[in-house]
Every structure is written in structure tokens, then in C-alpha cells.
Amino acid sequence: MNDVEYDELTDSVLLAVEEAIENIDLDLDYENHGGLLSIVFPDKSKIIINKQPPLHQLWVATKFNGHHFEYQNGQWIDNRTGTEFWTLLKDAASRQAGQSVEFVR
């Protein structure tokens, strides 16, 4: 993957997360600043998703731990656990919110 493809892929993921947040029936806020997306929960905890261009990775920091995702076979996969991005985001957001959170894309 080249840098342009990486930017297009990561920008589309961040936009998809923003759009999914808009459709969630939970008081979540978000801020996007230059490749760093912060999801703010009612208790003020955050999930932070940010681009790592030199590594062609997408990093996710939750209240509980951090994850580094690499693009493999059409999906962003955690290079430590093998978990797919959207699965991890749903699980982490549900834990932080204290209720089930579904990101509808």
C-alpha cells in the first residue's frame, strides 16, 4: 500500500466511525483533528483513534488498553490480538459505556 492509499483508507474509517456515532442512541460526542478522532463518553472517558502514517497503521487507545491495526485482506486487524477493528471498537465502547454499543455502518 502506498501513502495515498493509506490516507484514503484511514480517512474513510474515521468518517465511518463519525457517521456511526451519529446513529447511536447514546450521548456520545466526538472530535476529529487532523487524523485523530476522540470519542467522548458520558462519563468523560475517551476512545482515541489516530492515524500512524509512517507505519501505515491505525491506533486505538481505550480506557483499558491500546491497539495497533494493520490493513490485511480488506480489513483493519489488531497486530497483537488478531481482532478486527469494528469488533474491537464495539466491544471497547460497550465496556466504557456500560451498555451495548452498536456501530452501524
Render pLDDT for 50-90 as a digit per residue (tens, 0 to 9). Answer: 999 999 999 999 999 999 999 999 999 999 999 999 999 99
From residue 93, how far is each of 20, 48, 50, 64, 87 by CA, in Å? 12, 11, 16, 11, 10
The model's pTM? 0.89
60's grid cell: 486505538
**55, 8 Cβ separation under 8 angstroms:** no
Q: Which three cell numbers stand for residue 91?
A: 466491544
Q: Say if residue 25's pLDDT is above 90.
A: no
Residue 105 has pLDDT above 80, yes or no: no
- Give the right CATH number for 3-97 from 3.30.920.10, 3.40.190.10, 1.10.3720.10, 2.40.50.100: 3.30.920.10
Structural domain spans, the chain: 3-97
Strand 29-33's sheet: what is its strand order? Answer: 29-33, 36-40, 46-52, 57-61, 66-72, 75-78
Query: d(Cα 66, Cα 23) in Å, to the nearest integer?
Result: 25
Cα-to-chain-centroid distance, residue 67: 10
Does residue 24 carry a pLDDT above 90? no
